[in-house]
Amino acid sequence: MTQEKIEFQAEVAKVLDIVIHSLYSDKEIFLRELISNGADACEKLRYTGLTHPELVGKNGEFRLTITPDKKAGSLTITDNGIGMNHDDLVNHLGTIARSGSAEFFKSLSGDKQKDMALIGQFGVGFYASFMVADKVRVRTRKAGDEKGWVWESEGAGSYTIEEDKDAPNGTSVILYLKKDEKEFLDTFRLRHLIKQYSDFVPFPIYLTEDKKEEKINAGSALWTRPKSEITPAQYKDFYQSVSKAFDEPWETLHLHVEGVIDYTALMFIPTEPPHTLFQPDKPTNVSLYVNQVFISNDIPDIMPYWLRFMTGVIDTKDLPLNVSREMLQQTPVLTKIKQGLTKKILSALAKRAEKTEEYAHFWKGFGAVLKEGLYEPSENREEVAKLCRFYSTHDANLTTLDEYIGRMPKEQEKIYFITGNDLDILRHHPQLESFAARGVEVLLLTDPIDEFWTNTYPEYAGKRFCAIQHAGSELDKLKTKKPQGEMLAKDKLDKLIAKTKEVLDKQVQSVESGEQLVSSPMALTTGMGQMSLHMERLMRAHGQKTAFESTRILQINPRHPLIHKLADMEKPDDYIKLLFDQTLVAEGEPLPDAADFARRLTDLMLRG
């Protein structure tokens, strides 16, 4: 039989034009597409063989072979799968015969950018060969057929088909690489690409070099197997290979979800937090697979940012293999998977949280990240809040918000908190005294993120969050213990306030009476709606200029004996300065002039 020359279907010609000129930015993915086709072909024959074992015959193991030939400048991808007959070649490699393709072509706009996103939704994997090859030859024999065929094309306009007596069972795709694409003959590069993109393709992939064969891929997608068949050691190995870490998984979630969207997920929570947990631009550790073929491990929004410690694999059949980046960012499929998975992760955490000590370990490593989930409104905010743990003035242990609320005196309406960076300093903070005196518990928040979510998350279980410096007269409703001691007379107090402001000048915005103070003579605070002092420190630590000194307010305790003494002094300046410095220390602020502080202290002791 002689050679036939056949025109590509008009649509194929169009696709080829787009593929060759603009489809993929990463040309290397042609290999993944061809491997995936080969694996599909094996899958099909394996399936057919269930009812027609004679077709599989002496085939032996299903396998793929990648053979670079430097002399010929060609790369061959061979499989021993189902193969194609004459009509298959015409129908599959010369036509686009997918339902819906008519609409697709109607919607092609000519705008390359838009068309690229569209085309990603259609099966055009084979044509990706023409990104790297100027000629493609396919030798193939369909399982059970006498005749074999060779298909050949240069991608422009037409292809040829001819009988090929020596065609092996299955299919060999031979790419004659373009001059600039010879890197794909390099075995080192090929090995890397196979590992990266096709490690879990469920058939062995061999790379041939100097007639020697080497199996490259792991060869099985662990996550597709039933849980009961997987040992803890296998889970651990897999975890370590995806996370590139050396610890054990703290939690393993293996889910086969069927519903509107089908997906399988094998996700882990590490035992130890990775160093990169707080690096904003590090890639995710979650790999997306479509039908066991690797797509990407760098999909920006695949997990909520407050679950960024999750690592593992998501595999779905509901996306096309050659999905584009643009499409990944828009597809509702990933959004649905993310939503579903988020719920599962949260309920797994809730379960682990029942074991207080175990959970405390998790919280130490990852709590600051999980808490970021409180920052923005989301359907999961309440769940996240339930999973959060806080130190408080109640005791040395972590508490939940529910436990805090359970301990609230009847008249208390709000959840009080204070922020800072050192737990010990916070525990002894002067501003806490009046709360202690009234038996009101205060949450001690020491993570940078606490400054942020406390500003955007208004309330939990109907109780508003309130920074202690913003607590007002509502505290007086709490009849419990009130501060003791005689108040300084109003005229004396006013005089001392004026004097203090004069002495401290620009170091504070204003000076006022702090009637809620108990054992400290002075305390610092900021006004309603102002940044807290801790927030100011955080911003300064990040090199931001803040109007710090102009926003802080100094409170004077009108019941404190030292303040009574100060009010009676003729020249209290040095004492005011000294007390102010001491207040800065209690707040965790650096002293503006430590030497000056020391000198004043020594002077006073000598006078004393």
* Residue 82 touches ligand ADP, criterion: CB under 6 A: yes
Cβ(118)–Cβ(104) below 8 Å: yes
Q: Which helix (H) or strand (E) holds 187?
A: helix 187-198
17 to 36: interface string for ligand ADP, x by CB under 6 A = ----------------x---
| Residues 336, 259: Cα–Cα separation, whole Å | 11
458 to 497: interface string for ligand ADP, x by CB under 6 A = ----------------------------------------
What minimum distance in Å lies between the beta carbon of 192 and ligand ADP?
A: 22
* Residue 14 touches ligand ADP, criterion: CB under 6 A: no
Rule CB under 6 A: choose which of 94, 120, 125, 249 binds ligand ADP: 125
Closer residue to ligand ADP (CB): 105 or 126:
126
What minimum distance in Å lies between the beta carbon of 463 and ligand ADP?
A: 55
| Residues 243, 275: Cα–Cα separation, whole Å | 12
* Segment contacting ligand ADP by CB under 6 A, of 37-45, 386-394, 441-449, 452-460: 37-45
303 to 332: interface string for ligand ADP, x by CB under 6 A = ------------------x-----------
Closer residue to ligand ADP (CB): 89 or 567:
89
Residue with the shortest CB distance to ligand ADP: 123
Task: Identify residue 577 by its one-letter amino acid code.
Answer: K
Rule CB under 6 A: choose which of 24, 32, 74, 79 binds ligand ADP: 79
| Residues 194, 520: Cα–Cα separation, whole Å | 68
| Residues 252, 468: Cα–Cα separation, whole Å | 40
Sequence-ordered strand ranges (E) for 330-480:
390-392, 398-399, 414-419, 443-445, 459-460, 463-467
* Ranges of H-type helices in 544-593: 548-551, 561-568, 573-587
Closer residue to ligand ADP (CB): 143 or 442:
143
Give the three-state DSSP class for 483.
coil
The residue count for binding ligand ADP (CB under 6 A) is 18
Rule CB under 6 A: choose which of 19, 35, 56, 84 binds ligand ADP: 84
Q: Which residue has the tokens 């797509």?
A: 295
| Residues 516, 555: Cα–Cα separation, whole Å | 10
What minimum distance in Å lies between the beta carbon of 321 and ligand ADP?
A: 6
Give me 71's structure tokens. Answer: 């002399």
What minimum distance in Å lies between the beta carbon of 292 and ligand ADP?
A: 14
Task: Identify residue 142 by its one-letter amino acid code.
Answer: K
Cβ(313)–Cβ(286) below 8 Å: yes
What minimum distance in Å lies between the beta carbon of 320 and ligand ADP?
A: 7
* Segment contacting ligand ADP by CB under 6 A, of 79-87, 253-261, 427-435, 534-542: 79-87
Rule CB under 6 A: choose which of 81, 94, 120, 270 binds ligand ADP: 81
User: What are the respective helix, strand and coil percentages of the chain, to the nearest 5?
Assistant: 45, 20, 35
* Segment contacting ligand ADP by CB under 6 A, of 117-125, 389-397, 455-463, 501-509: 117-125
* Segment contacting ligand ADP by CB under 6 A, of 77-85, 151-159, 230-238, 300-308: 77-85
Nearest Cα neighbor of 532 from 590, 593, 588 is 588
Burial (CB count <10 Å: 0-12, 13-18, 19+), residue 35: buried
* Ranges of H-type helices in 219-331: 232-243, 325-330
* Residue 104 touches ligand ADP, criterion: CB under 6 A: no
What minimum distance in Å lies between the beta carbon of 318 and ligand ADP?
A: 14
Closer residue to ligand ADP (CB): 82 or 167:
82
* Ranges of H-type helices in 63-143: 86-93, 101-107, 112-119
Nearest Cα neighbor of 137 from 42, 69, 209 is 69
Rule CB under 6 A: choose which of 49, 123, 168, 219 binds ligand ADP: 123
| Residues 86, 96: Cα–Cα separation, whole Å | 16
Neighbours of 142 (CB within 10 A): 24
| Residues 233, 239: Cα–Cα separation, whole Å | 10
Neighbours of 240 (CB within 10 A): 16
DSSP state of 211: T
Site for ligand ADP in 540-579 (CB under 6 A): none
Give me 586's structure tokens. Answer: 């209690």
What minimum distance in Å lies between the beta carbon of 89 and ligand ADP?
A: 9
Rule CB under 6 A: choose which of 16, 19, 23, 37 binds ligand ADP: 37
The CA dihedral of 374, 377, 382, 383, to the nearest 10 degrees, is -70
What minimum distance in Å lies between the beta carbon of 197 and ligand ADP?
A: 15
Site for ligand ADP in 126-185 (CB under 6 A): 126-127, 171
What minimum distance in Å lies between the beta carbon of 125 and ligand ADP?
A: 3
Closer residue to ligand ADP (CB): 81 or 514:
81
Site for ligand ADP in 38-57 (CB under 6 A): 38, 41
Binding site for ligand ADP (CB under 6 A): 33, 37-38, 41, 79, 81-84, 92-93, 123-127, 171, 321
